């Protein structure tokens, strides 16, 4: 592979011309698809897709371990397009490589995940090619990347997931999980704070299977980056403990290959490849480079650009047959061979390490091991009760002991959130030692939430914890958990005024409403220890919804369930905890969490005064909403 050269370059041997022509043809196809799709949509960002086409081509065609026929093969390499606005770059690759659809809920199984017609309807309602890549909607998209920085932060979780699974499952002669993770980032990604948090942790953990590609094009939507950005990125990442290398021209395929080989040889740290590019490469007449980033090139500019590429000027969405065949002989053939070898190895692994193979299979299908809940405690009635965080920690430990891939930690708060796993063998994840179930995220709430998403993409079952007030720092990534239907577990403690002496900055007021406002997130605020038990049961059994369990710092009474209704009512979101003698209440008392005990006190006082009351514990508005109208009317009379 050699540097791309314009038409009319010096004569070469026939074999060289053939190799270079195949490279040039494939890269030009990617570029022209991006131009045509954005122009047809009258919306989008063609420049980055055009500039980075050689980089992604080189990676996919020559390095990525990926089978288009099975894009969810467990040991595939991951490619994350963190610069999601350059989505046409990914859609072009999914189309040209012939990636198959595998999500029965959203796609037709076995059909191409991205057809040429989908590309023609880029950014239109219902298209498989929305403005930013959406996980589940289009097979081959590894994660949703809209907000900048989220993709690279998620990739840290994916790399950590690979390392954790390798430490847990690999045995001599059986390297079942050892995949690499690549993420393409831009200036905007590197400006975002979540990226700094995630990069710092990745360097600390020495995630040598992680490679970020930095498109150093010096352009953002407002103009040149020097308006607001002058970081020495290389020095910054060296300080994080990364290996840093540079490719001076995004079109230099030979140098790109050397950079990827450098990454593959690195065994003690993640790698950042800084790629210098000119946005909208090949659009020789475009003077306003920021426009090439954020809007279509225009029909005349496209014709001139195609002329410079030696491409038919009036052809639209042209895909030569040779390009598809080229990818079939490269990426596809390599991926199919690697996947077939892995499947054969897995059958041998199943015979020699049956329990581990069963766990690996269950993880990939989001199933639970038999008896996962047999150690969950039952809490006896108590007026004094127990703190919600303490009860939650006990249940978490009982469950994690039976689900080895339930892995997580806190943003430096596990002594307070009680989320440290303390049973024998739980262990800690540390640099170079990834087998434990306890993760330490440091004071990095935002990155923690994004990394949890990456772990979930790897089929690890992750949890993360913090004070409820700090959910504000995590909300962007929590929202993406919900969009992607990832079963991430968030544990929030210190949920009310009873937070100790830290003052108003630590007192949650609007945070519970903010969590409840996120579509697709199940928010649970259990009333006592036994509701906490049922909250964990409800959460663990969910496969496609993230959940937030919100509990108290202070002790709350544990209700006598022989006198009041069973805590299993939690699974319906709301239930009648205590009722009027005749079932016809004069007043309804509704609450969640610690305030339910106050309602029970009021109920007893009203009952003594002859007033018929009903107490409704409503730990989850979302679960209650899922119930029938008849059930709603039974709990809350019309």
Residue 294 is predicted with a pLDDT of 65
Which distant-in-sequence residues (6+ apart) come within 8 Å of 42 by Cβ?
Answer: 296
The answer to whether residue 377 sits within a structural domain is: no
Report the alpha-carbon distance of residue 423 to residue 437 in Å, rounded.
10
| pLDDT single digits (tens) 17-28 | 478 999 999 999
Phi, psi (degrees; rounded to nearest 5) at 574: -150, 145
- CA 592 to chain centroid, in Å, comes to 30
Query: Domain span at residue 606?
Result: 572-635
Domain count, the chain: 3
Look at residues 280, 148, 147, 285 and name the one whose alpha carbon lies nearest to residue 219: 280
Q: Could you tell me the CATH number of the domain that includes residue 594?
A: 3.40.50.920
Helices vs. strands in the chain: H and E counts, helices first: 23, 18
Same domain for 166 and 46: yes
SS (HEC) of 81-121: ECCHHHHHHHHHHHHHCCCECCCCCCCCCCCECCCHHHHHC
21 is known as an active-site residue:
no
The answer to whether residue 3 sits within a structural domain is: no
For 117-133, give one letter per residue: b (16+ CB within 10 A) or e.
ebbbbbbeeebbbbbbb
The catalytically annotated residue of 295, 445, 531, 534 is 445
Token reading at 360: 């690996």
pLDDT above 50 for 368: yes
Same domain for 107 and 213: yes
Bridge pairing between strands 243-247 and 271-276: parallel
Same domain for 577 and 497: no
The answer to whether residue 94 sits within a structural domain is: yes
Same domain for 220 and 185: yes
What pTM value is reported for the model? 0.94
Same domain for 29 and 55: yes
Q: CA angle at residue 511 from 510 to 515, to 5 degrees?
A: 120
| pLDDT single digits (tens) 79-111 | 999 999 999 999 999 999 999 999 999 999 999
Maximum separation of any 2 CA atoms in the chain, in Å: 101
Report the alpha-carbon distance of residue 508 to residue 101 in Å, rounded.
43
Residue 470: exposure state from Cβ atoms within 10 A (0-12, 13-18, ≥19):
buried
What average pLDDT is seen over the chain?
94
Same domain for 595 and 548: no
Which distant-in-sequence residues (6+ apart) come within 8 Å of 255 by Cβ?
Answer: 3, 247, 248, 249
The answer to whether residue 8 sits within a structural domain is: no
Q: CA angle at residue 365 from 479 to 198, to 5 degrees?
A: 40
Proportion of the chain above pLDDT 90, given as a percent: 89
Mean pLDDT of 172-190: 97
| pLDDT single digits (tens) 394-417 | 999 999 999 999 999 999 999 999
pLDDT above 80 for 5: no
Same domain for 203 and 108: yes
Residue 280 is predicted with a pLDDT of 53
| pLDDT single digits (tens) 586-628 | 999 999 999 999 999 999 999 999 999 999 999 999 999 999 9
Token reading at 224: 């040149």
| pLDDT single digits (tens) 505-528 | 999 999 999 999 999 999 999 999
């Amino acid at each position: 592979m050699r540097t791309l050269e314009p038409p009319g370059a010096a004569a070469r041997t026939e074999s060289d011309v053939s190799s270079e022509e195949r490279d040039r043809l494939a890269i030009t196809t990617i570029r022209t698809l991006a131009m045509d799709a954005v122009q047809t949509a009258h919306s989008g960002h063609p420049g980055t897709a055009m500039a980075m086409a050689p980089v992604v081509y080189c990676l996919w065609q020559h390095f990525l371990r990926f089978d288009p026929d099975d894009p969810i093969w467990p040991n595939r390499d991951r490619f994350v397009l963190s610069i999601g606005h350059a989505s046409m770059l990914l859609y072009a690759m999914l189309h040209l490589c012939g990636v198959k659809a595998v999500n029965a809920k959203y796609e037709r199984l076995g059909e191409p995940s991205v057809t040429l017609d989908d590309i023609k309807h880029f950014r239109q309602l219902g298209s498989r090619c929305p403005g930013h890549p959406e996980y589940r909607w289009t097979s081959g998209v590894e994660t949703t990347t809209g907000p900048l920085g989220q993709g690279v932060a998620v990739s840290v979780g994916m790399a950590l997931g690979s390392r954790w699974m390798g430490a847990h499952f690999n045995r001599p002669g059986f390297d079942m999980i050892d995949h690499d993770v690549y993420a393409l980032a831009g200036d905007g990604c590197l400006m975002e704070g979540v990226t700094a948090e995630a990069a710092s942790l990745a360097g600390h953990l020495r995630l040598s299977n992680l490679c970020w590609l930095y498109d150093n094009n010096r352009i953002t939507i407002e103009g040149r980056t020097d308006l607001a950005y002058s970081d020495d990125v290389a020095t910054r990442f060296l300080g994080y403990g990364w290996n840093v290398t540079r490719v001076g021209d995004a079109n230099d395929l030979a140098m790109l290959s050397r950079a990827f080989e450098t990454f593959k040889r690195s065994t003690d740290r993640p790698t950042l490849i800084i790629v210098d590019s000119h946005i909208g490469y090949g659009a020789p007449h475009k003077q306003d480079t920021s426009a090439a980033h954020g809007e279509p090139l225009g029909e005349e500019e496209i014709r001139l650009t195609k002329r410079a590429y030696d491409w038919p000027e009036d052809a639209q969405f042209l895909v030569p047959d040779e390009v598809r065949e080229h990818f079939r002989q490269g990426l596809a053939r390599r991926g199919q061979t690697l996947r077939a070898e892995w499947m054969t190895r897995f059958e041998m692994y199943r015979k020699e390490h049956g329990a581990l193979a069963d766990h690996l299979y269950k993880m990939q299908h989001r199933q639970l091991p038999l008896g996962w809940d047999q150690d969950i405690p039952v809490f006896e009635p108590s007026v004094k009760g127990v703190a919600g965080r303490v009860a939650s920690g006990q249940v978490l430990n009982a469950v994690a002991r039976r689900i080895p891939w339930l892995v997580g930690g806190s943003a430096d708060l596990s002594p307070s959130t009680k989320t440290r796993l303390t049973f024998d063998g739980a262990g800690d994840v540390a640099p170079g030692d990834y087998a434990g179930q306890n993760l330490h995220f440091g004071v990095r709430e935002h990155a923690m939430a994004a990394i949890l998403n990456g772990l979930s993409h790897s089929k690890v079952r992750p949890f993360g914890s913090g004070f409820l007030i700090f959910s504000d720092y995590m909300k962007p990534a929590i929202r993406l958990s919900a969009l992607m239907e990832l079963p991430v577990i968030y544990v929030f403690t210190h949920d009310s005024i009873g937070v100790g002496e830290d003052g108003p900055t630590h007192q949650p007021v609007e945070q519970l409403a903010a969590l409840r406002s996120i579509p697709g997130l199940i928010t649970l605020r259990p009333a006592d220890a036994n509701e906490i038990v049922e909250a964990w049961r409800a959460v663990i059994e969910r496969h496609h919804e993230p959940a937030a369990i919100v509990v108290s710092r202070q002790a709350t009474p544990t209700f006598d369930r022989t006198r009041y209704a069973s805590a299993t009512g939690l699974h319906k979101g709301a239930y009648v905890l205590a009722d009027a003698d005749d079932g016809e209440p004069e007043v309804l008392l509704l609450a969640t969490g610690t305030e339910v005990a106050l309602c029970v006190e009021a109920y007893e006082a009203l009952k003594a005064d002859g007033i018929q009351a009903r107490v409704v514990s409503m730990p989850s508005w979302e679960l209650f909403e899922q119930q029938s109208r008849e059930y709603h009317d039974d709990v809350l009379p019309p």
